[in-house]
Amino acid sequence: MSFETVRVIMEKEIRDALRNRWFLVISALFTLLSVALSLLGLSGLGSFGIAGFGRTAASLLNLVLLIVPVMGLLLGAMSIVGEREQGTLVTLLAQPVTVNEVFLGKYLGATAAMIATVFLGFGASALVIAKYAGFEQSGDYLVLVLFTILLGLAYLSLGFCVSIFVKRHATAVGVALFIWFLFMFLSDLGLMGTAMVLKLSPGALFWLVLINPAQAFKIAVIGSLQKSLEAFGAAGLYASETLGDWLVPALSAVMAAWILFPLLAAFLFFRRRCVE
């Protein structure tokens, strides 16, 4: 494998992302809302003196759950299918490059673009907080940034699966948005309704949570910041009692699995299609 070739393909993927209107709009929205939530939290600083990195991290949690998954899905879903539909992927593979180099370069490029967006949004927010409230609880903020990157990579891998399994650009976007809506439904209200209808035990409900990377992200972040999962009711208490200090590492492993297994499936199917 030539790392120079991987670098060239990676840079091309970053340029393609910067020309993608969907990606630019979502990135701008994420940055603006991150700063707005920081300013909103700081608005009570003079009266209460409690605004800072810790409080802002908690307020940004729902913003991340709303925007980062759709950003990762769309970025991944449009990465390969667009070039295949235009015929440029065939031209690229006809060059002295390997399938592995193409896939790795495209995934690393999409990863770099997504991480840059996360850093832009959180960085702008951090500058506002640091200026007016100092650096207290900045560690909590960094925890949120780290888990946000893992969440984005999980959905990026799912997006790559979509991009490789479908044949048209419009279909890829539609499937990506459907997956986003599906996982949004399998959030708090959806899980609560499912638990009530199926009369699930706290243990069964907790394991059901793990089929949604967004919920694994949410529990991991709250468990890291608050050290308590009482907000999740019986399922949260079950998780705390069962896993104890291993809760956050276990959920981190779950998110890593959400990154690696869809990515592996996408890679294997991509190789198979290229060989055919």
The per-residue pLDDT for range 89-105, each reduced to its tens digit, is: 888 888 888 888 999 99
Give Cβ neighbours of residue 181 (< 8 Å, ≥ 6 apart).
none
First to last CA, the chain: 21
pLDDT at 86 over 90: no
Q: What is the pLDDT of residues 143-179, one digit of tens each?
A: 899 999 999 999 999 999 999 988 888 899 999 999 9
Q: What is the pLDDT of residue 1?
A: 73
When computed from its CA atoms, the radius of gyration of the chain, rounded to whole angstroms, is: 20
∠ CA 28-30-33, nearest 5°, is: 105
User: 84 is written with which tokens?
Assistant: 């295949």
What single letter denotes the amino acid at residue 195? A
Q: What is the pLDDT of residues 54-80, one digit of tens each?
A: 667 777 888 899 999 999 999 999 888
pLDDT at 49 over 60: no
Question: Per-residue confidence at 84, pLDDT binned at 50, 70, 90?
Answer: confident
CA–CA dist 74, 178 (Å, integer)? 11
Q: What is the pLDDT of residue 46?
A: 45
Q: What is the pLDDT of residues 103-147, one digit of tens each?
A: 999 999 999 999 999 999 999 988 888 877 666 667 778 889 999
User: 24 is written with which tokens?
Assistant: 């630019």
pLDDT at 184 over 90: no
CA–CA dist 122, 114 (Å, integer)? 12
Q: What is the pLDDT of residue 47?
A: 42
| Percent of the chain with pLDDT strictly greater than 90 | 33
- Which three-class secondary structure state does DSSP give residue 168? coil
Helix boundaries (H) for 166-212 = 169-185, 188-198, 202-209
What pTM did the predictor assign? 0.88
Q: What is the pLDDT of residue 132?
A: 73
Report which of residues 35 and 202 the model is more confident about: 35
pLDDT at 210 over 50: yes
pLDDT at 244 over 90: no
CA–CA dist 50, 44 (Å, integer)? 8
